[in-house]
Every structure is written in C-alpha cells, then in structure tokens.
Structure 1
Amino acid sequence: MQFKHCTLEIDGPVAVLRMDHQEVMNAVSMDMLGGLTEALDEIEARRAEVRCVVLTGAGRAFCTGANLQGRGNQQQKPGRSNAGAALETAFHPFLRRIRNLHCPLVTAVNGPAAGAGMSLALMGDMVVCARSAYFLQAFRRIGLVPDCGSTWLLPRLVGKARAIELSLMGERLPAEKALEWGLVNRLHDDAVLMEEAMKLARELAGGPTVALSLIRKLYWESPENSFEDQLNLECQSQRMAGSSEDFREGVTAFLEKRPAKFAGK
C-alpha cells in the first residue's frame, strides 16, 4: 500500500512500514507524517492480523531528521517561525501512537538515523542495525535543541554523560559503537539486515501477543513509576495476561511438552 512518502506491506502477521522519500534521504515532512499516520490507521484496523511492526527506510537512509526543504514543514523563516509548532501538531501525536502500539515494534536501521530519525529508530522495542548505519544528534548543527523524545530516551539508554555529549558535540555515532553502548540490540551486515529483521519480527509475531504488548507497556511506564507503582502495574498486567487464551495454551503446551501455538488472544 502506498501512502504519502511511505509504504506499508502486510506480510502475514508482520507489517513493514517503510519511510520512502529517497530524494531527501527520508527526511520527515508534514506530508510524510500524514502518510505514516494513515499507515498506522491501516495497521490498527488490522490489529487482529498484525502482530508485529517493522519500521525502516527506503534506499540508503533510515531517516535524516526533519525535512527543512519541504513545503509543509513550518520552517519558513529561521528566527521567525515557531520551531516547536510541528512537534505539538504532528510529531508528538505520531510518537505517542508508536509508543501505544498493540504489538512489538522492530526498527531496522538501514542507514543514517539523524535528528528526529534517531528518535524514531530508538522507539523500537528491538533495534536492529546495518553495519554501515550511524546515529546523529544533528540539532546543534542548525541551532536547535534535541526533540522528538531524544532527551528522554537517550539518558535512559546510554546514561547522562553520553547523552549530553552526543547532543552538545553533534558527532556521528557509528553502528558498532551504538551496539557497544547498548543503544541497539543487534548488528547485521547491510545485505542481510531486512532478512534478519523479518526473521526477528516473525518470531515476535508468533509469540503471545497479549503478553508482549503488556511487556512493552511495562517497560515504557517503568522510568516514570515508583517501585510501588511498578509493582501495582505488574500485578494489573499479570491479571490481564493470565486471562488470555495464550496463557492457557502456554501452560497446556508446557505440560504436554510441545511447542506452544499462540493465537495472539
């Protein structure tokens, strides 16, 4: 399916959402965000079918940040435009929808992930990365501050010192170093990145989707909760998981010493 500057492919239980504006290395415009949002609507409409989402970029880039050349990007006159307006109206709603997905999200970082593109990459529950890829907090290069959740995500992933250094210095972080720092989960040769990403996505899609959705919610909520709050959320989530058909199947399969066949219900 073709949307504005993005495509959506449903491959069995896996949805592949691909940013596709290769002329600007998949930089995000308002048009692209509109297309991505429509694609998420389609995924949501098929939530019983789609049990894992892969987000990646077309061509040689994952996403190089906001499109400063696009017509609808609200970057009319530097110094006079409201650089935060697009965050409130478009970027933030999209990021919230990704956070609240009903199933696991795999981000396949096939090339540069800069600025907002770096944030999109790090939204993945599992981040797989091509060896040639790199990450870049590019904001300081044009006199802006990190946004799209960068200042929330980065300190929690790599610590305050490294997060501030990436943001203040604006230097490229190679894929190998990102793996060493714990910013990404797995590193693959460029030629097999999507093959490996799909293999991982299918494994997740074949799992107990109700529990996996609750797991991702637990870890998203954890940094904001006290220990007691998190204990309560675990208890609430366990009640929900324990009432699922997948839990009954999992226990039955364990007792019968056979692989479980989860239906995602």
Structure 2
Amino acid sequence: MRTFETVDYRVEERVALITLNRPQSRNALNAQLRAELYQAVTRANNDRDVRVVILAGAGPGFCAGADLAEQYPDADQDGFITQQLRTEYHPILQGIIESPKPFICAVNGAAAGIGAAIALCCDLAVMAEDAFFYSAFAAIGLVPDGGSHWFLSRYLGGKRAFEMIAESRRLSASRCLELGLVNRVVASPHLLEETLGWAKSLAEKAPLAMQYSKQLLREVPGLSLAQTMDREAQVQNIHYRSEDFKEGATAFFEKRQPRFTGK
C-alpha cells in the first residue's frame, strides 16, 4: 500500500487516523499535502474495515491554512485561484462531508484559513484547551473559502460570523465550545488520546445508523418539517430491514452489547 510523505495514515481498531505532517510549516497546505490528504481521505472512505476517521495535525498546530510561500507559474492568470479551489481543495472537503463515515477533527494549536474550514466540515470536533479557530482571510485581503461562510453563518449567525470574518478574529477553544463549533475541549496533552478513545467507542456503534443520520443532517436544512419526517420514514425502512437492526434488537433482549456489521 502506498505511503505518504506529508500525511501519516494508520488504522487502529476500525479507526483511521489521518495526520497532516508538515509541522515545520504548521501543516500549511501545499500542493503535495493537498493531493495526499485527498488520497488519504479517499482511502479511509473506501476501506470497509474503517468505521470512523480522525483528522489531526502534527506539531504545534492543526493547520495554518494554504501555504502562501508556494509559488505557481500561472498564479497571475485570471481565474487561477477559482480553479485551484475547485480542483484541489473542494474534493477534500466533499470527501469528508459526503463520506458515509463520521469524521472527527482533533484540533491542536491553530485551525486557520482553509484549515478552519476543514475542521468545521468534520462531523465532530475535539479541541485542545489552548487551540483556536482563526479566520485570517480579511487580514490579507481575501474572503474565507472552503464553505466557511456557510459553516460560520450556520453556527454563529450572520452578525457574529461577519464580525469574525471582518476583524480576522480568533475564537478560543472555550468560546468554540460555547458556540457549538466543537463538541469537547480537553487538556492539550490528552487531545489525541481522548479523541481516539471517543472514535473507538463510536466504531462500536451501528455504522448504518451513523451513515444515514449524517446524510439526513446534511439534507434537512433545505427541507420542511414534513419533508424531513418523510425522508426519515424512507430511511427507517432501510434500517428496519437490516441485519444490524435484527442484531440490535436481539442484543437488547439478551442484555448484551450488539455486534454490528454495517449490513
């Protein structure tokens, strides 16, 4: 199996741990890291033995955003950045958002720029107590990308999202927890340990239930209540006829832990 140079990839007890590994640049996304991160996300999505995926960052920070030091010969061409976002960044984000598996982000240090967008698009997030989200775009004359406007307005509301963007404001871990941007804040030395423990616990849960609930949560912002109930009714039929439901019901009456297979 192919190994990566800028990403560490390992699987442990049905949990894939993908670690951005350019600590010398605080895991800023250069072309190689973008390509390898996409390949790692795809590998985890396609591995039937993987049920939960963790994204983490090596060194002092999760991700400092795009690597602004990297030079491109066609950077002066009109539409260059639009094409780069569409072809190199969006597939990573879509691979996480559209994955049938839950992604947990373990945020240490800074999650800045597109790094914050990657963290926000994960289904769950654990933050070290000294970590922070940073919308640094306006400070260098850019607008947030990678779906940041959608995520920030959804979680913060329009006024607070605009304030964070316009002032290039940092959000501390405690504030992120208060606003619902992350699920848990833990002591920095225990970030990966706590996240792995949570991921391994989730890996024992019903894979189909997590897969379809993730899908439904992605759909419902555009649906009415009646449409949501109808979609739930349709999806429930899939689960009702599944082997996992039979196992779950049997385990309930036998007073034991179920052994789900995702079928």
Distance 1:41 1:152 in 2: 24
Find the counterpart in structure 2 of residue 41 from structure 1: 42
Find the counterpart in structure 1 of residue 28 from structure 2: 27
How do residues 1-265 of structure 1 correspond to structure 2 at under 5 angstroms? 2-46=3-47, 48-71=48-71, 76-77=75-76, 82-265=80-263
Aligned AA (2:142): L
Aligned residues with identical type, % of pairs: 37
Distance 1:100 1:183 in 2: 19
Task: Report SS of the residue matched to 2:117.
Answer: helix
TM-score, with length taken from structure 2: 0.94
Contact 1:246 1:263 in 2 (8 A): yes
Distance 1:143 1:62 in 2: 23
Q: Which runs of 5+ in 2 are unaligned?
A: none
Contact 1:3 1:38 in 2 (8 A): no
Deviation at residue 11 of structure 1 after TM alignment: 0.9
Distance 1:56 1:162 in 2: 27
Contact 1:253 1:259 in 2 (8 A): yes
Larger displacement relative to structure 2 (152-161 or 57-66):
152-161
After superposition, give the CA deviation of every residue in 1:113-172 in whole Å (9 maximum; x if it has no partner): 001111111112111000110111111011111110111111111222211111111011
Q: Give the superposed CA RMSD.
A: 1.7
After superposition, give the CA deviation of every residue in 1:53-104 in whole Å (9 maximum; x if it has no partner): 00011111101111111245x7835x96632221111111221111111211
Deviation at residue 218 of structure 1 after TM alignment: 0.9
Q: Which runs of 5+ in 1 are unaligned?
A: none
Runs (4+) of structure 1 exceeding 6 A deviation are: none
Contact 2:75 2:81 in 1 (8 A): no
Distance 1:131 1:100 in 2: 29
Distance 1:86 1:258 in 2: 51
Distance 2:234 2:5 in 1: 39
Distance 1:210 1:155 in 2: 29
Aligned AA (2:209): A
Distance 2:129 2:26 in 1: 18
Contact 2:6 2:33 in 1 (8 A): yes
Deviation at residue 238 of structure 1 after TM alignment: 1.1
Task: Report SS of the residue matched to 1:9.
Answer: strand
Aligned AA (1:37): Y
Aligned AA (1:103): K
TM-score, with length taken from structure 1: 0.93
